[in-house]
Amino acid sequence: MLISGWLNVSTNPVVSTDQKEETFWSRIHSYCVEFCSDIIRGVVACKKRWYKINKTVAQFAGCYDQASRNIRSGSNADDIKELAYKLYSTNYETPLADEPDVDSPVRPQRSKKSKQKGKGKAQRSKDFRERKSLVVKKLSLMEDIKNVREKELMDREKEREEEKEHRAKIMPIKEKELQIQAAMKEQELQVQAAMKEKELQTQRYIKEMEIKAKEREMERMAKEREREMDMQILNADTSTMSEKRRALHEIACEKIIAK
């Protein structure tokens, strides 16, 4: 509630933080009372409580940032949060407990005598236990970080081995595919060569047929000319021919008729 009030007042577009400190914290206290009427703390208590919470939050935020950098990839928010708690407990020598709300009752202040009580041997024993606990926590934290990094290395090594095995399985298949592609290419070239040869044979045949047709046409034309000449000889007018020429004409006609 206190954090919500601080954010609400400090981010208010009308007043923002451009106001006197007393007014600022008075607004925060009014906000808390509005949503929680049984709050017994005053403005000063809220202010002190905020500074205490603010410091703790800042410390834990630093631990959380460090945990985010140390944790291995693939970890979720709960893993990071757990490591951040351990870092906080180690660095600040106390576990991070949930802070009470602003509406919790004000604890009565202890007297000087009660604060000084327990010093001496009991205090030294307490300090020893705290130092021992701190060492154990640090060792535990170091072991946790070591285990996380070792697991990350093992996971990476496992991924590399799996990739290697996958490639070993893929290579024979790739080689077989290349062989099939080469055979298909060779067969395609052979088919193309056969088609080209057949096309050449067809062209040669057509050429030969054209030549023979032309020769037959020339032979026909020659025979036609010869027939025309024979007809001219047979139909020639012999009345104007001399005896000698008429005799030669008769011999030529006999040869034409004898063909």
- What is the residue type of 238? T
- What is the per-residue pLDDT for 217? 94
The CA–CA distances, whole Å, from 253 to 29, 85, 192, 224 equal 151, 138, 63, 17
CB atoms near residue 86 (< 10 Å): 19
* Grouped pLDDT means (10 residues each) for the chain, 259 residues: 66 57 80 75 78 73 76 71 78 52 42 50 65 70 80 89 86 87 92 94 94 94 91 86 87 86
- What is the per-residue pLDDT for 21? 75
- What is the per-residue pLDDT for 132? 65
Owner of token pair 């193309």: 192
Angle subtended by helix axes 77-91 and 121-234, to nearest 10: 150
What pLDDT, in 10s, does the model give residues 30-56?
878 777 767 777 878 887 777 777 777
Q: What tokens were used for 187?
A: 């067969």
- What is the per-residue pLDDT for 202? 94
- What is the per-residue pLDDT for 55? 72
H or E element in which residue 180 lies: helix 121-234
- What is the per-residue pLDDT for 23? 81
Nearest to 103 by CA among 42, 34, 40, 9: 40
Q: Are the CB atoms for 26 and 42 separated by under 8 Å? A: no
- What is the residue type of 61? A
H or E element in which residue 47 lies: helix 43-70
- What is the per-residue pLDDT for 246? 86
